[in-house]
A = this chain, B = another copy of it.
Amino acid sequence: MPVILVASLDQSAAIVEYVRNRMAEQGVDSLVADVGFRGDPTHHADIPREVVFEAAEQTVETLRAMSADEAGGLIASALSSLILDYYLEGKADGVFAVGDRIFAPIAIKAMHQLPFGIPKLVVTTPSDGSVGTMAGSRDILILDSVLDLASDDRISRGLLDNVSLAMSGMVCGDGQDSSPSESALKPLVALSTTVTTEKAVHQSRIFLEGKGYESVIFHVTGPGGRTMESVINEGQVIGVLDITTAGLSTQPMEPEIVGPDRLTAAGRRGIPQVISVGGLDSTCFASDAVITDSFRHRPSHVREDLRVLVRSSAEESAELGAELARRASASTGPTLICLPLRGISSLDAEGEPFWDPDADAALFQAVRDHASGAARVVELDHHIDDPEFCEAMVNSLTEMIAED
Interface positions, chain A 130-169, Cβ under 8 Å from B, are: 130-137, 139-148, 150-159, 161-169
For the complex, would chain A's binding face be called helix, strand, loop or mixed by DSSP majority?
mixed
A151 touches B217 (CB 8 A): yes
B25 touches A178 (CB 8 A): yes
A161 touches B173 (CB 8 A): yes
A128 touches B170 (CB 8 A): no
Taken together, the copies of this chain in the complex come to: 2
A168 touches B164 (CB 8 A): no
Bound CA span A54–B188, Å: 44
Bound CA span A264–B158, Å: 25
Residues of A within 8 A of B (CB-CB), count: 82
Q: List 19 A-B contacts (CB under 8 A).
A: A26-B173, A102-B305, A117-B162, A121-B166, A127-B136, A128-B222, A128-B223, A129-B223, A139-B145, A146-B219, A146-B224, A146-B227, A147-B216, A151-B215, A153-B216, A155-B236, A161-B178, A165-B175, A166-B167
B153 touches A188 (CB 8 A): yes
Bound CA span A351–B99, Å: 32
Residues in B with CB closer than 8 Å to A148 are 193, 216-219
Bound CA span A218–B128, Å: 11
Q: Shortest CB–CB separation between residue A148 and chain B, in angstroms?
A: 4
Bound CA span A257–B150, Å: 23
Which 5 residue pairs spanning A and B have beta carbons closest together?
Answer: A169-B169, A132-B132, A128-B222, A146-B224, A165-B173
Q: Which residue of B lies closest to A257 (CB)?
A: B129
Q: Quick one: given A128-B221, A307-B128, are A22 and B175 in contact (CB under 8 Å)?
A: yes
Bound CA span A140–B165, Å: 14
A360 at the interface (CB under 8 A from B): no
A153 touches B222 (CB 8 A): no
A62 at the interface (CB under 8 A from B): no
B161 touches A169 (CB 8 A): no
A162 touches B175 (CB 8 A): yes
A163 touches B147 (CB 8 A): no
